[in-house]
Structure 1
Amino acid sequence: MAQVFIGVGSSINRQQNIRLGIQALQIEFGDLTLSPIYESEAVGFKGGNFYNLVACFESPLAAQAIIKKLKAIEIQQGRPEKAIKYAPRTLDLDLLLHDQMIDLTIDLPRAEILTNAFVLQPLAEIAPQLKHPIMNESYKVLWENFPKSQQKLWQIDAIIT
């Protein structure tokens, strides 16, 4: 069984789409550990604010099989199959980590862990002692050293379940 971490985000009907995305992840993968939800400004384009969190679960599936299932859930939630990279989203599900696997052809560990506060902070909250497979630093330390003035991020009290 691999420990899997997924980034979950939405900027369109955020609360509803996050709730439906979490429900779909629970149906597909079982019990989830969820970080708090954070609201952040769009990164890379002008657009509405996003809600983001990180979900963790155990799975016997290979990384590629999980990615396929995540894409199917996104499409089921109304995301176009060929989505524009920097654009509003109904639901965005990104495989962040699959155990300590390093496979840069499928972006593992996901590069955004080190560059986006909305990924690193929630990851540091649910896996503070886990070490990044390339940086060999804990997510807690990586978050402590992150330039926080770079991206605005605040925790919200949205009810998602």
Structure 2
Amino acid sequence: MHQVVITLGSNIDKERNLPAAVRLLAEGAEVVAVSPVYETAPVGPAGQPPFLNAAVLLRTDQSAAALKDGLLRRVEAQLGRQRTDDRYAPRPIDTDIALYDDAVFDYTPADGRPRHVPDPGLIHFAHCLLPVADLLPDMPHPETGQPLAALAAPLRRDPTIRLRPDVGVMNEPRIFTDLTDDTD
């Protein structure tokens, strides 16, 4: 089994779509933990509503490409995501693979757009790093070697980023401290 961290973002009907995405992910993989929810400014052109962001730790036996092409695309489709040429367009949900075990690799899902693991946005954007660091604070970033909590620390002082405890993503949040799985 693989431990995979999925980042979620929504700025259309976000208080409904973020929790719905977690429920849909749980239908296709084992949800181990869910991060707190953050409200962040959109990346790209101004004028969009802010995003709600979270991260979900899953256990799955699927490859990264199979997970992206199957479960993640299905979650996006069920919540009304329509992809356009504008990669910064508002969206009901966005799902990305941020971490896949502690691996570093490239893969190409069915859409033909190459992806990299760990997600390059993980070290560049608060909306990715903060929720992931909440799930796995001591994990070293697979490429930099720095603990995720250390990478996230400077971003926690950004006054434009808000925790949103009012947006529950699970009825019974489960966050485990021991994520060791020796049952490959």
| 1:114–1:122 distance in 2 versus 1, CA, 3 Å | same
1:147 Cα deviation from its structure 2 partner: 8.5
- 1:109-161 superposed Cα distances (whole Å, 9 cap, x missing partner): 10110111111111111100111111011101111245954x82110121333
* 2:118 partner amino acid: P
Which residue of structure 2 aligns with residue 116 of structure 1? Answer: 125
Specify the structure having the higher radius of gyration (Cα): 2
How far, CA to CA, are the matches of 2:155 and 2:161 in structure 1?
12
* 1:120 partner amino acid: L
Which residue of structure 2 aligns with residue 48 of structure 1? Answer: 49
* 1:80 partner amino acid: Q
How far, CA to CA, are the matches of 1:136 and 1:146 in structure 2?
18
Which residue of structure 2 aligns with residue 4 of structure 1? Answer: 4
How far, CA to CA, are the matches of 2:84 and 2:50 in structure 1?
22
Which residue of structure 1 aligns with residue 164 of structure 2? Answer: 156
Which residue of structure 2 aligns with residue 29 of structure 1? Answer: 29
Which residue of structure 2 aligns with residue 89 of structure 1? Answer: 91
User: RMSD value over aligned CA atoms?
Assistant: 1.7
**Contact 2:98 2:122 (8 Å CA) reproduced:** yes
Query: Which consecutive residues of structure 2, in runs of 5 or more, have no partner in the other structure?
Result: 107-113, 171-184
How far, CA to CA, are the matches of 2:116 and 2:157 in structure 1?
24
* 2:76 partner amino acid: E
**Contact 2:34 2:169 (8 Å CA) reproduced:** no
Percent of aligned positions with the same letter in both sequences?
A: 26
**Contact 1:9 1:91 (8 Å CA) reproduced:** yes
**Contact 1:26 1:32 (8 Å CA) reproduced:** no
Superposed, 1:63-142 pairs within 5 Å as 63-68=64-69, 69-82=71-84, 84-104=86-106, 105-142=114-151
Q: Figure out how many residues of one structure are paired with residues of the other and give that number.
A: 160
* 1:84 partner amino acid: D
* 2:120 partner amino acid: A
| 1:156–1:147 distance in 2 versus 1, CA, 3 Å | closer
How far, CA to CA, are the matches of 1:148 and 1:160 in structure 2?
24
> When you count helix as a share of all residues, which structure comes out higher?
1
How far, CA to CA, are the matches of 1:60 and 1:5 in structure 2?
13
| 1:14–1:146 distance in 2 versus 1, CA, 3 Å | closer
Q: TM-score, normalised by structure 1?
A: 0.92
Query: Which consecutive residues of structure 1, in runs of 5 or more, have no partner in the other structure?
Result: none
